[in-house]
Amino acid sequence: MKKIIFIFIHTFIFAAVPDQGLKNYQERYSLCQGKTNYQISQCLLNGNLNYSRFRGDRYSYKTISKKKIQKAARDADIYDYTMNLITQTKRYTGLKEYIDYLYSIREVYTAPQFKGDDAEDIIRIKKVFNLLQSAGLEENSDYTPDFEAELLEYQRRHGLAVDGDIGLNTKRELKRSISSIITKVKKNLALERISSPKGSNYILVNIPEFKMHYYDNDEPVLNMKIVVGKAKMRTPVFNKKMQYIVKNPRWNVPPSIYRKEYAGKSESYLRKRGFAYNSEGKLYQKEGTRNALGVVKFLFPNKFNVYMHDTPSKSLFNRRVRAFSHGCMRLEKPIELLNELGYTYNTKRNKWITLKNKIPVYVEYHTVWIDDDGIVQFRNDIYGYEKKLFSKATYHPTSTTLSKKKVVKKQKALGLF
């Protein structure tokens, strides 16, 4: 009996009192608030996110054995056990190191407040550039060419208009406190921690960046601007393998778009734009340069019915914020991607190609990341996921299936371009 009581007390102590190293990791690199080793490990590995207003696939839940957690705690190995379960990608470790740096400058970081003292604002902005960009500026109130160059660099790194003007958007970014910057990075570190591991050959779409990147043998070989879904028709977050390429595609107008944009239009209006009705009475747009899908599309079959494609609306790529589509991703340089995949645009007829080598396509959502040059990039939270995903966490394995079904039912109608 005494032995049973001892085992119970021993197990309870290890369950209730978390490992200090694990607790420190949670506090420094996450927004988790676990109070036991199991709670901390589960939150670190699965994000404990709220998917109620999220559009996309739920990340795969990583089941953690309580028995193994307890054993690792008894063996004083719980920290290493949990760390070995976290995929230490280059992007993940880069953001982790950046958080360490932000903590190291926390006591000396003072953001400008723009309350009327222009000289003080310039001094504080220079300090921000020195700390975040290693600018090496003399911290006085002089507006110098070097200061302007660093201002342009700051705007580039934050996805702002690169115009050298300290306007409202630039001021809003500069006014961020160091604690809010750390919190923003922690949220993105959580998303990196639960993102799918990638191989050496893949396509990555980052929605808030409005860009697509193609990697071959772990090297970036092509990147381009993209147009993503508007706020009410968001591009979903998911990953699938590209299986088909369609040259000179036809566009079958989805019912939802037909009702909103084409119902009631005259036959002459539709004919001038290359539209016709098929034998079933459904509207489609013939292949050609005027087609909404352009001259090529790239298919990775998914439940959201979204894909990447060309577009005749090239002017939108000159916009800084490019959220105009019905959910699909419009490509700035689709022919270059076609060529990179080993094909050429050599026909004006509709033609389907089945890829011999299926290419993983990851459509993700990161507002802070380390780019291929090692530069920390910040972007605006265009779909509000920083707030939605990290509000009152409700994610747990038993609720995933039900919530998934509800979301899919609402989203099926969005046949997109």
Examine the pLDDT at 243 and tell me if it is beyond 90: yes
Dist CA 18 CA 13 (whole Å): 9
Calculate mean pLDDT across residues 392-413. Answer: 45
Q: Band of the pLDDT at 416, cuts 50, 70, 90? A: very low
Measured at the alpha carbon of residue 305, what is the angle toward residues 213 and 360, in degrees to the nearest 5? 35
Token match 């459904």: residue? 282
Q: What is the pTM of this model?
A: 0.88
**How far is Cα 311 from Cα 296, in angstroms, rounded to an integer?**
9
Tell me the per-residue pLDDT of 278-299, one tens digit each, with 9 for 90 and over. 888 899 999 987 899 999 999 9
Q: How crowded is residue 383: how many other Cβ atoms within 10 Å of its Cβ?
A: 25
Mean pLDDT, the chain, rounded, equals 90
Query: 158 with 171: CB under 8 angstroms?
Result: no
Output the pLDDT for position 15.
Answer: 53
Tokens of 336: 């270059």
